[in-house]
Amino acid sequence: VQREMSTLPRVYITRQIPPEGLKILRESGQVQFELWDSDDVPVPRKELLQKVKGVDGLVCVLTEKIDTELLDAAGPNLKVLSTMSVGFDHLSLEELKKRGIRVGYTPDVLTNSVAELTVALLLTTSRRLIEATHEAKTGGWGTWRTLWLCGHELAGSTVGILGLGRIGVAIAERLAPFKVKKFIYADVAPRPELASVINAEYDFLSVCCALTPETKEICNKDLFSKMKNTSIFINTSRGGVVNQEDLYEALSTGQIAGAGLDVTVPEPLPTSHPLFTLKNCVILPHIASASYATRNNMSALAANNLLLGLRGEPMIKELKL
């Protein structure tokens, strides 16, 4: 029986990615692709395992676990994986390396957007904006009061940046004009003694490191107990770098003043989660890179990485495995 219509490499895309990337793939004439045509629900795992069978390339987002099971299901044709994300904690790098699969990702294009959102979240948390709008809207706004809704200011403060990568630098650049007195950077190259680098000095601590075995739950009670009770904790990296029980404890006992989180474990965080009950915890639904420009750029970069990889050329942004 003659079945094969096209000899172009087959690609599966696990999400309806923004139009820029799809356009690049369509107009390349280089691949035939099928996609999970929704952005509202991720492709069910069972469907994904079916769809990847025999593909040459795969484009994914951070909701898909690319592990042994999935790579086995895909089989030996799979040569290129392109993730539309800068984070790669959803990928089993060892397995990918073992199988000689090349991996593209999307750093740089989202740095501005993530840094902007981090500053927004930091100010929202430290100046208690969510509480304030709630009070204004629900009748809590009485007379002007001298200490009502006071927060903590950046001017004259010490800001810690945990994870001195592209995003960490971009956050510091944006915070500097607020007249921060001192920045302390802690890099998170695999270093077991990292906890001791993080000391009590910070007024603000912004976490922007990758989630790796070394950074898993690195923000735990040891860290929070060393922070001042006026400190603000901000996380726009991955929820897994934080021990959320310890964070809840630190926030609810006044060990630290507030936290702003763009990322949690799990995602979405169930609405019944105790962190949602705290006034001093601002939780966003993983939107740091969510600007139209950035998401389109990420989509285009993911598409271009894939096409280059399939042609056997160097990708624009390729993970060294």
Pick from 77, 83, 126: nearest CA to 100:
77
- Cβ proximity to ligand DGY: between 17 and 70 the closer is 17
DSSP secondary structure letters along 222-270:
HHHHHS-TT-EEEE-S-GGGB-HHHHHHHHHTTSSSEEEES--SSSSPP
- Cβ proximity to ligand DGY: between 110 and 159 the closer is 110
Binding stretches for ligand DGY (CB under 6 A)? 62, 85-87, 110, 289
153: left (phi over 0), alpha (psi -120 to 50) or beta: beta
Q: How far is the CB of 107 from ligand DGY (least distance, A)?
A: 8
Q: Interhelix angle for 292-310 vs 111-126, to 10°?
A: 140
90 is catalytic: no
Pairing of strands 182-186, 204-207: unpaired
Angle at 119 between CA 114 and CA 123, to 5 degrees: 145
Question: Which residue do the tokens 């004009």 mark?
Answer: 177
- Cβ proximity to ligand DGY: between 9 and 168 the closer is 168
Q: Which residue is nearest to ligand DGY (CB)?
A: 87
Catalytic site residue from 134, 152, 273, 286: 286
**Cβ contact 232:202 at 8 Å:** no
- Cβ proximity to ligand DGY: between 110 and 172 the closer is 110
User: Among all residues, which ones are annotated catalytic?
Assistant: 286
